[in-house]
Amino acid sequence: MASSEESSSSPAMHTDDGRDRLSDLPDELLGHILSFLPNVEAGRTAVLSRRWRDVFGCVDTISLEEYEGQRSNDWETFFYEAEERKSCSGHLLDGLSAALLSRRRCNGRNLPLRRFGFAFDSITGWDVVFVDMCLHHVLRHASKELHLDLRFFICPICERGGCRKRKAKVKSRRETPEKSDDDEEGHLYSTRCGYILPRKLYSCVALKTLCISYAWLNVPESINLPLLETMRLTGPGNSGRDIQRLISGCPRLTDLKIEGAPNLRTLSILDKRLRSFALRCCQNVKSVAIDSTELTTLAYSGAVPPESLLSLHGGVQRISSCTVQLCSKNLSAEEIGRLGRFLDLFAGTTHLHVESARMGASMESKHFTSSLTFAGLTRLDLTGCLPSDGAANAVRRILEQTPKLECLTLFLVPVPKEPDYYGLQEEDVDEKRRERDGDDLFTTEDESMFSSIECLRRRVTTIYLVGYSGDELTQRLLARLLLSNALVLERVCVKLVKQKLAWQLKQKHDIQGWRAS
């Protein structure tokens, strides 16, 4: 009897009445859900029904951006052809204005904002007043925590040619060998800094994330940012002392990233314990002192640094992830030697990513004299091109120093086919490298040494090859040696370059044939 009642009630329990249960949720909750969508997509939900018409006003995240190069033709299409003289970023400004006004129109009040951001391809004088009003409104109506991402210029951090050559060009312009942090070398970047931040920003106690790109920081004497944990400064036009003062005024800072700061010479972060630190393309920096007691992630990008660049107070035991990106196209013998001593700092890390123009950063060179061993490394990422068979020896030498490696990822960059910015062919660069390092050929003895690499025989279970092109002989050689000697391999993931299906099937067949049985 009980079973019959249960069976009779079961269909009723699972009957779908077709009711829109999502629309029954309160506006605040729906607004929070829409906050995870891009603002343009979230705004389109207003056409779903009358119920959704005003829901966008409850979204607590506003973020709109232009794409890189969108303003590149303004001089032709706007200044000479437009009938009305106004901002070139009209679509971006109209979108921000509509998003902010809809919050008040839909709710009759200004709901607190949790996240606000924008990205100008290149800000102009017409935009400054509007940005001032937006920031005044956002700071006034911030929620308990506020995240700001303000980008006033979009461009690559490291221009073509590498930080080493840019640094040499800057040095040639100096009249004296030494300059202080207050010198005007920042004028190299002043044309990109088209906005001066309001000082009210530095007294917003709710601010938790601050990301600024290409603006004058305008740091006041008094800074009150008690909750700020994450800071990213890209291309600041200020002196190094202003940057230091801003960082020192954030007592809870744990995540710091500084990019393209030409005036930064020295940096000291000993009064707080960072968990993540990144220094990218700051070509004039001489010394950085960090309390590394809780530091777990470190990233460096630029020319090969001097040995005295990083001073880690507290040791490197907790650093589990390290990224080193070398911007110089061709390393000198001195730089190769310094690179080995720099990598010695991170011998205990578990994840290492080395990015360079030539994969392996010329570690096969006789000038790479370091005998470091990454005893705890389990994940290795390498980025670069393979211009000659000798570059495979650099990968081999790294693998010989990683006895516990489990996951290997190679981001394969195509070998450039045309002259670079300085007019040197890749063949000319390789010829100079041979003169410096000796023979660059890959011999049968070198090939046999892959079979004796300990981590390939016993530890490596996963190999990723990203951007693989079977048409480049060195890529095929390295892929064959890795796959045929990885005896405990469980997973291979190969992302091929875009080609016809027949070509892709051929590469798949070759790769499957190389795997060790």
Do the beta carbons of residue 297 and residue 274 sit within 8 Å? Answer: no
Give 177's DSSP letter.
Answer: S
As to burial, measured by CB atoms within 10 angstroms (0-12 exposed, 13-18 middle, 19+ buried), residue 104 is: middle
Residue 466 counted as domain residue: yes
What is the spatial distance between Cα 253 and Cα 271, in angstroms, rounded to a whole number? 10
How high is the pLDDT of residue 169?
A: 47
463 found inside a domain: yes
Distance of CA 477 to the CA centre of its chain: 30
Q: pLDDT band for position 48 (50/70/90)?
A: confident
Mean pLDDT of the residues in the chain: 81
Q: Does residue 26 contact residue 54 with C-beta atoms inside 8 Å?
A: no
Per the structure, the complete domain to which residue 101 belongs is given by: 24-151
- 130 in any annotated domain: yes
pLDDT at 198 > cutoff 80:
yes
Q: Report whether pLDDT(163) > 90.
A: no
Mean pLDDT of 336-344: 85
Give me the CATH number covering residue 403. 3.80.10
pLDDT, tens digit (0-9, with 9 covering 90-100), for 456-495: 999 999 999 999 998 778 899 899 999 999 999 999 999 9
Of 151, 166, 199, the residue at which a domain comes to its end is 151
Flag whether pLDDT at 190 surpasses 50.
Answer: no
- Domain assignment present for residue 297? The answer is no
- Domain assignment present for residue 370? The answer is yes
pLDDT at 3: 47
In a domain, 159, yes or no: no
With beta carbons less than 8 A apart as the criterion, state whether 264 and 258 touch: yes
Q: What percent of the chain has pLDDT over 70?
A: 79
Q: Is residue 142 part of a domain?
A: yes
Q: How far apart are CA 338 and CA 343, in angstroms?
A: 9
- Identify which has the larger pLDDT, 392 or 10: 392
Residue where a domain terminates, one of 108, 130, 151: 151
Stronger pLDDT, 2 or 154, i.e. the higher one = 154
Question: pLDDT tens digits for 100-137?
Answer: 888 777 665 667 889 999 999 888 877 899 999 999 99
344 lies in some domain: yes
Q: Which of 13-17, 190-194, 304-308, 462-466 has the lowest average pLDDT?
A: 13-17
Pick the last residue of a domain from 123, 151, 179.
151
Residue predicted with more confidence, 355 or 40: 355
Higher pLDDT, 409 or 28: 409
| Whole-structure pTM value | 0.82
Q: Is the pLDDT of residue 424 over 70?
A: no
Phi, psi of 383 (to 5 degrees): -125, 135
> Which pLDDT score, from 0 to 100, does residue 1 have?
43
**Could you tell me which residue, 118 or 16, shows the higher pLDDT?**
118
Amino acid at 29: L
Confidence of residue 150 (pLDDT cuts 50, 70, 90): very high
Domain count within the chain: 2
pLDDT digits (tens, 9 = 90+) for 341-366: 888 888 889 999 999 888 877 777 76
Query: For residues 78 and 437, which has the higher predicted lDDT (pLDDT)?
Result: 78
pLDDT at 192: 65
Beta strands (DSSP E) in 135-237 are 142-151, 207-213, 230-234
pLDDT value at residue 433: 52
Rounded mean pLDDT of 90-94? 85
- The Cα–Cα gap between 354 and 360 comes to 7
pLDDT band for 281, please (50, 70, 90 cuts). very high
Residue 254's pLDDT is: 96
Euclidean distance between CA atoms 363 and 380, whole angstroms: 15
Confidence of residue 8 (pLDDT cuts 50, 70, 90): very low
- 176-189 pLDDT, tens digit each: 344 444 444 444 44
